[in-house]
Structure 1
């Protein structure tokens, strides 16, 4: 009993100290050192030491000294030692309306002051209002929404909707694409393409096949072969632009032809817009660039405004109605909670009020041109700068050069990162609120870092 009480006392004292730190907007040098030590030790002993090795790519000398502390305006953050960074990673695409957007923060605080979570049994109003908003906002006849907390949950819901839609026919074959990233839970991981993520967890969900992204002929042949052997396709899941795959943009007619193929073979079309949605590519949804409406669309990342974890799986009525008879077939405790719904509603409001999709298109063109100009004399290092809106990838001739450039960016106060599937490509994915002056610093830094890249890493 005494040992148990002693542990509780230690826990209480430690958490009390941490709560005192949380209260502070700014910390002393001594407090900063304590926070840094606790963070590094905590990752090593209690989170995952592997993150420390990974973070060597963005810290001088592998000292792991960069501990994030607070936001600094819409487009920047500050580390615990007071160094400011321009955020060109954007939380892998969550900060479309900027860091700590005031309208999103206010909506969440207002809802928190009234009721942070709901009882689960009664009807919660914001879920209904957000679902109606999405029905008005999304392309075509997408109408009903299921809310979750993350992109992988949104994809899981989409896969289950496709399965139950075809349950009477027994269709259970899914087609995804090479280089695809759809998440890491068992269902979504089955759609994800990278072997290093998949192999340790085999066998995954049965029935998944992968074909080359952008190759409509291979897609048709695969769907036809599946039909011939009695394994008709339930759904094709695809990112309109592959984000983690290296910012891979499809041929202009690919998605339209894919829509037609799915119609021809009776398969559903799922667009994973977890990263491309909410204005990122220069339209509210990337599908709008191509004039294509999927049967199901998944949203997350920026959907919660960079303030709350939130996701949505939006489907047509013909797909979603299979869940009407028993709405408890697929549920989640925290999905569609009032705080997340408040954040998502405010996010949509800000995207429209500030015309951020159009801003993403304009600033994306400005960013692409500036990055290409900076790379113009470095064809021995840079293969291509590509993107749509403010989803931009810089592909290098080798992993090592990409690693050095990302490190150089970071040392100069700009955060970027590689993509999870394609290690040779680093992404430039800032908030849609990024200013021209900040873009110009990115261009100048890119040019400077390219000149400084160690010749020994050149292939």
Structure 2
């Protein structure tokens, strides 16, 4: 047996935790270490070891609607840990999970104005909740497909034994081989259709995760293409092209064959086959550039999904939990889901928690036997989620109103920057406290220092905001010229003013094109 070697400086001095990313962060001034956080403030270490307060407007990529280390959430976490609350109590009763499910159901039924309940599957992250949604949708589609094919097979068997052979001879579609040939042709056609892989319809610009299944629903080809052979087949629809959803669905329609007897004659008929497994939609695209789906597009999706019997999966991982000014951003555009995924702020910035909610009328109980997660549905994260929901719902939903009010104030500031710098600021987008500011591309900038950073412009601007103004934000992953702003409901007028001044500083640099670019 080989002895374990002691750790040495040679082992510990190297950067081994995603070293390439760590090196790249240094090129744009984002390689800082954060050591403490509260509210909208996160503290980084200066070179002399002191703490520097940074205004955090990235908000944990939308996870911190209540801010860093909310005192009520932290107190609850400390209480749970001090009490020795078991984290690993799998395959047992979880009343605390049921409490979260019921709280979510009450809120969602209120938002939708409906009485139908939603069965709840627990997970750890947003991407995992999407994976569960993909799997459940395919399980549901599989049952519908099997029921359809089984019905056809039973009908064929009954018809063959009950109809006189002369009736088949009158059927114009009967091949020369007669009845046997007809049945063989139908069986071959149906088998070929049934073997086709399922299709998921989603939107251009969408981001649903980077796991094996969810990454195929993410539009950014850089993330998706290297793994395209692994998982779900997606069809991407543009956001601004009326009729595109219907065209996409019509192009993906498939049918299986059956026979019917009418007037003593046998006729071949077609049945729609459930090839489309689900429509997956972010009501506000986060990573794709903070783009709000229109009510018109939402209606098209709803109609198309109903026409093929497929569920609508609403991805509220980043936009939900009140960030838009409503608990579900989808209600603001009239989009009603059959499935909902929630995550990020559900854990209050402390726990890792997410859920998939499925309408009872579509829920397949068999899913619970084929899907599970080691850390999902544990007592700690569920109790934290309950605390978060209590905070959001307190004072008649004051947090939602606050998100809407602060969002309007922040939008006005961003619009002011765009109005004063129309040559370098292209657009302001979003809703509530999920906003984006798009800058003009700098591929032809006169400043070489700025032009070199053009492929990752948003990160260079983010580095400037951090180093020069102690403000933390990032661009969106698939739209690097768009900065995102997802602060908490604790945002103050003073903090909004700081951002206004900082953004104007960045815009002035882009306008004047100094030789040093974003670095002094």
TM-score (norm. length: structure 2): 0.76
2:244 alignment counterpart: 218
Aligned to 1:86: 55
Query: Where do 1:229-308 residues align within 5 Å?
Result: 232-308=275-351
Q: CA deviation at 1:206?
A: 4.1
Within the alignment, does 1:369 sit opposite 2:335 as a pair? Answer: no
Show CA shifts across 1:285-328 (max 9, x none): 101212332000101111101111110101100222x1x24622
Summarize deviations over 1:200-219 as a string: whole Å, max 9, x none: 22313243211213434111
Distance between the aligned counterparts of 1:195 and 1:292, measured in 2? Answer: 27
Relative to structure 1, the CA distance from residue 291 to residue 211 in structure 2 (aligned partners, 3 Å threshold; closer, same or farther) is closer
- Counterparts of 2:472 and 2:411 in 1: how far apart (Å)? 17
Native 8 Å contact 2:144 2:274 kept in 1 = no
Structure 2 residue 80 is the aligned partner of structure 1 residue 54: no
Is the 8 Å Cα contact of residues 76 and 384 (structure 2) preserved in structure 1? yes
Among 371, 382, 388, the residue aligned to 1:341: 382
| SS of equivalent to 1:208 | strand
CA contact (8 A) 1:214 1:250 kept: no
CA distance in 2, matches of 1:312, 1:206: 21
For residue 232 of structure 1, report the CA deviation from its aligned partner: 2.9
Q: How does 1:165-180 map to 2 (within 5 A)?
A: 165-170=140-145, 172-180=198-206
Matches within 5 A, 1:5-404: 6-7=5-6, 10=7, 44-59=15-30, 64=31, 66-71=32-37, 73-81=38-46, 82-114=51-83, 115-138=85-108, 139=112, 140=114, 141-170=116-145, 172-228=198-254, 232-320=275-363, 322=364, 324-325=365-366, 327-353=368-394, 355-398=398-441, 400=454, 401-404=457-460
Matched with 1:17 is none
Number of equivalent positions: 419
Residue 445 of structure 2 corresponds to none
Deviation per residue, 1:270-295 (Å, 9 max, x gap): 00111000111111110121233200
Distance 1:201 1:51, change over 3 A: farther
Counterpart for residue 33 of structure 1: none
Does residue 449 of the first structure (1) align with residue 495 of the second (2)?
A: no
Listed one character per residue, the Cα deviations across residues 172-224 of structure 1 (whole Å, up to 9, x for unaligned) are 22111111100011110111111111122231324321121343411111111
Cα distance, 1:291–1:231 mapped onto 2, change above 3 Å:
closer
Cα distance in 2, alignment partners of residues 353 and 165 from structure 1: 37
Shift of 1:377: 2.0
Whole-Å separation in 1 of the counterparts to 2:121 and 2:68: 26
Shift in Å, 1:447: 1.4
SS in 1 for 2:288: coil
CA distance in 1, matches of 2:366, 2:417: 58
Instruction: Show the counterpart of 1:405.
Output: 461
| SS of corresponding position for 1:253 | helix
Q: Secondary structure at the match of 1:309?
A: coil
130-139 or 210-219: bigger deviation = 210-219
Runs of 4+ in 1 over 6 A off after TM superposition: none
- CA separation of 1:2 and 1:261: change in aligned 2, threshold 3 A: closer
| Gap regions ≥5 residues in structure 2 | 146-196, 256-272, 443-453
**Which structure: larger Rg?**
2
Between stretches 229-238 and 143-152, larger displacement belongs to 229-238
Cα distance between partner residues in 2 of 1:206 and 1:150: 19
Pair 1:438–1:326, CA change in 2 (3 A): closer
1:435 and 2:405 aligned: no
Cα distance in 1 between the residues matched to 2:45 and 2:514: 33
Displacement after TM superposition at 1:257 (Å) = 2.9
1:426 alignment partner, SS class = strand
Give the Cα–Cα distance (whole angstroms) in 2 for the partners of residues 291 and 384 of structure 1: 24
8 Å contact from structure 1 (residues 236, 267) kept in 2: yes
Task: Indicate conservation of the 8 Å contact 2:243/2:300, yes or no.
Answer: no
Distance 1:105 1:353, change over 3 A: same
Comparing 46-55 with 144-153, greater Cα deviation is found at 46-55
CA distance in 2: counterparts of 1:218 and 1:2, whole angstroms: 63
User: Would the alpha carbon gap of residues 240 and 55 (structure 1) be closer, same or farther in structure 2, given more than 3 Å must change?
Assistant: farther
